[in-house]
Structure 1
């Protein structure tokens, strides 16, 4: 069963239904695994096949997925067995039939075949073929784009969610400490990644970790590339290694990034590290309820502009519940023009990556917006780590 109380799920559903009514949506079709988890507790590595949680305004949610995954739903969700439905394996990755046809028939059977349906159009796990099959199979329904509806409900965390992200922050620190203590010029990048991943999943003696949304490394000549994976090459000497990882606890994430130099760092890199650290602390000092995401980015820009530096990409985003390939919530971003106001119990991954060729530097932490400011979920020193 889920880690959350039935009362918390009821609260989540009520807020979701309020958002549905505001958009005049009668039935919400949820295919993103994180939103499915958020509203039902469902948690399994089954998102490579089509599955769906269905939330109507006037009845309890239901889950529909591959038949062999029904035990996953009964083991992890709070749903009643009658609301957990499996489709036959003949629908799995078939050119002749599609799971959305099965789902459409179930909607019809439950009297939902002529409603206004909200669909998560901008979602990794909802394909063009999914939408085509739903439209063709439910000709009396009206379809609306419900992308982001549940994501925005999720942006303010409960105390139970905050505690899981706090624990994820501890795991992230342990994984990054492992990276700093393990990295050498001779170690293969893949072996370094393996040690980091072991720490991510081992977690602590009190609680273990889960598979996070990602692990990226930009090393040496590739340090300016923010989203590269590892190779089987040695790390090498006189290079910077930019490492971004996440701690993951029960699918809740805390992102963390640090840079390590193998050798004697050039003065230019040391200066960049000092500027970025000053920028991060300036951003954190600007965090308060009522401030906007754009104002936090403006505080950062005010620091780096004094040194003639520019960062064209956003400096952070809302983070929390996630499944591969991502841990971001696809809602608020710390960038110019984002007028989202900070509220207590929002969580952000603030990432200040200055990708400037071989002399690049990254520094990030995940924070909680509090009533008076912020709480960081990391205790790692905010510095350029040096390995001689």
Structure 2
């Protein structure tokens, strides 16, 4: 299989992570986040529901892959790692009462003479369980474990030119999926049908760019459900007067470019228009402020000040770094665009900025994925930010991104 990045780029990534390890006094690192596994090795499979990981040793030129025996051939096909560095456990270790896959991982550490040193593990993420940690501690009693949850993710924040191209391709797919949704949403159509159309567009991709499954489902909300951003669709049929918010992502080579818009079937009410205008203007002002040297917290403050002019107050997180990802989240779980976050923006960082206002009975949302440039930022998608109004028997929606 053709690798998605050059061997040179993979080795540069590994070198940067080893520099972080050196700075933190770590001798070995166990990486279980599938996004970080992919970033360092190229490994790409839907296998992260069982224990797996990479072992990075400071003195070694390649990481070691360890996972289920069923998936070892997948590692050989998708990674740049030598076959001798691909290890596995057998299925009798899965969900067993008397043994655990982390025993095999611990044996690898012992074999490499890393059982009396400082080892970094990703303690606070979805793919490293309490049982994983307890088993490693029991099997490696002389190891000093260190919380390295964001070590690789922090390196991932600054994208290479190839990564940015994948994200721009993902943005084309986001435009295609959003336009598909807008065309699909109409009176008499069920929410689940619209969701199915979105999924088809996301996976098919647009303009000849192959798509992929997203790390988060399309968040298609209508009526009172727009007051809560993470509800999902149902079987309700659109009646022709709903206010709708939609957040989705285009995906290409596992790189995500999220996008959110507000849609109205029929004529918007004054309150709906006020909500949507505040959200959109907040987004515009925040994006205009972005430039290298500013902090995430300063960007959030600009947004807060703008929506306050429209009569709204909100101190929630507005966004996060984004890029390569697997379910259940497309964020990189590092920097957040929120008040007090002191992360300094640097060129080639990528963020999803979500201008959302969720009130008691309704809400509006408008978002962009952007890359920090030398002089400001660039929104990756090209899709109008204005409220999309669809009136029956009127062809007044946005066409042809």
Paired position in structure 2 for 1:167: 169
- Structure 2 residues without counterparts, runs of 5 or longer: 392-401
Please give the alpha-carbon distance, in whole angstroms, between the structure 2 residues aligned to 1:102 and 1:360.
Answer: 49
> 1:292–1:341: 8 Å Cα contact kept in structure 2?
yes
Q: For each residue in 1:67-113, what CA deviation from the matched residue of structure 2 results, as whole angstroms up to 9, or x when unmatched? A: 01011101110000000111111112222211001111122122222
Match of 2:211, SS? coil
Please give the alpha-carbon distance, in whole angstroms, between the structure 1 residues aligned to 2:162 and 2:249.
Answer: 19
- Taking only aligned residues, the RMSD between alpha carbons, in angstroms, comes to 1.1
Aligned mate of 2:229, from 226, 230, 237: 226
Q: For each residue in 1:141-168, what CA deviation from the matched residue of structure 2 results, as whole angstroms up to 9, or x when unmatched? A: 1111111111111110000000101111
Paired position in structure 1 for 2:11: 10
TM-score computed with the length of structure 2 as normaliser = 0.95
Paired position in structure 2 for 1:43: 44
Match of 1:223, SS? helix
Number of aligned residue pairs: give it.
388
Q: For each residue in 1:182-240, what CA deviation from the matched residue of structure 2 results, as whole angstroms up to 9, or x when unmatched? A: 10132111111000010001012432111111121221121101001111221333221
> 1:120–1:126: 8 Å Cα contact kept in structure 2?
yes
Is the counterpart of residue 339 in structure 1 residue 338 in structure 2?
no
Paired position in structure 2 for 1:140: 142
> 1:240–1:358: 8 Å Cα contact kept in structure 2?
no
Is the counterpart of residue 248 in structure 1 residue 251 in structure 2?
yes
Please give the alpha-carbon distance, in whole angstroms, between the structure 1 residues aligned to 2:283 and 2:112.
Answer: 52
Please give the alpha-carbon distance, in whole angstroms, between the structure 2 residues aligned to 1:235 and 1:18.
Answer: 54
Q: For each residue in 1:238-268, what CA deviation from the matched residue of structure 2 results, as whole angstroms up to 9, or x when unmatched? A: 2211110011111110010011111111022
TM-score computed with the length of structure 1 as normaliser = 0.98
**Stretch of structure 1 that moved more, 329-338 or 107-116:** 107-116
Please give the alpha-carbon distance, in whole angstroms, between the structure 2 residues aligned to 1:160 and 1:323.
Answer: 19
Please give the alpha-carbon distance, in whole angstroms, between the structure 2 residues aligned to 1:288 and 1:151.
Answer: 21
Is the counterpart of residue 63 in structure 1 residue 98 in structure 2?
no
- Structure 1 residues without counterparts, runs of 5 or longer: none
Please give the alpha-carbon distance, in whole angstroms, between the structure 2 residues aligned to 1:94 and 1:171.
Answer: 42
> 1:293–1:340: 8 Å Cα contact kept in structure 2?
yes
Please give the alpha-carbon distance, in whole angstroms, between the structure 2 residues aligned to 1:85 and 1:320.
Answer: 28
Please give the alpha-carbon distance, in whole angstroms, between the structure 2 residues aligned to 1:115 and 1:186.
Answer: 64
Please give the alpha-carbon distance, in whole angstroms, between the structure 2 residues aligned to 1:272 and 1:191.
Answer: 27
Paired position in structure 2 for 1:102: 104
In the TM superposition, what are the counterparts of 1:1-388 in structure 2 within 5 Å? 1-59=2-60, 60-214=62-216, 215-388=218-391
